[in-house]
């Protein structure tokens, strides 16, 4: 029986020390792993922060460029017919959007959806105004009608999307 108690007296403290060492090492390794992950995240954010800021800037520029006021100033009606001018406006909106498609990777889904909705709403506005005009209307008539309808709307979809974009950007940075 003494052998049993002697064995227990030597093994029990050893097992206790082993458990304590295991817990300490486990805690140390977990903390070390968290520290490494935080360092990697910080290094990654140093690289992605400028890219994300640029994405927000480019989306803001997209929204500004497709707003009716900017669009009509940039795409001149000249002596074009209503249908020719409509095609140019649609092409301009589409090319602006396609040029900035990759920005969706760097912004939240909500901001991207707002930008897509704004683009669709502006295209719909232009198409609706064009449909309401006579077939013999000129591009200048279309541009005036678009500006009038945009002023009547009050808050344009592009403005709403810009507000959401600015709000998210302020929260993120």
Give the model's pLDDT for residue 7: 81
Residue 116 has pLDDT above 90, yes or no: yes
CA 106 to chain CA centroid, Å, is: 6
Q: Left (φ > 0), alpha (ψ -120 to 50) or beta: where does 155 sit?
A: beta
- Give the count of beta carbons closer than 10 Å to the beta carbon of residue 136: 8
Q: Is the pTM of this model over 0.85?
A: no
Phi, psi of 137 (to 5 degrees): -70, 155
Provide, rounded to the nearest whole percent, the portion of the chain with pLDDT above 90.
76
Give the model's pLDDT for residue 119: 97
Locate 143 and state its tokens.
Answer: 């541009």
Q: Confirm if 125 and 68 have CB atoms less than 8 A apart.
A: yes
Give the model's pLDDT for residue 6: 79
Q: Left (φ > 0), alpha (ψ -120 to 50) or beta: where does 140 sit?
A: alpha
């Amino acid at each position: 029986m003494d052998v049993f108690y002697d064995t227990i007296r030597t093994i029990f403290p050893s097992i206790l020390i082993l458990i304590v060492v295991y817990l300490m090492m486990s805690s140390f390794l977990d903390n070390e792993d968290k520290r490494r992950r935080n360092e990697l995240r910080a290094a990654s954010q140093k690289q992605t922060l400028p890219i994300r800021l640029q994405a927000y800037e480019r989306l803001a520029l997209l929204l500004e460029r497709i707003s009716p006021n900017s669009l009509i100033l940039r795409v001149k009606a000249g002596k074009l017919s209503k249908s020719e001018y409509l095609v140019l406006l649609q092409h301009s909106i589409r090319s602006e959007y396609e040029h900035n498609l990759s920005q969706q990777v760097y912004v939240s889904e909500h901001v991207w959806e707002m930008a897509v909705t704004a683009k669709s709403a502006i295209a719909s506005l232009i198409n609706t105004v064009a449909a309401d005009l006579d077939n013999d209307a000129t591009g200048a008539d279309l541009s005036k009608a678009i500006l009038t309808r945009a002023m009547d709307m009050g808050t344009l979809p592009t403005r709403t999307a810009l507000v959401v974009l600015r709000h998210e950007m302020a929260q993120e940075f």
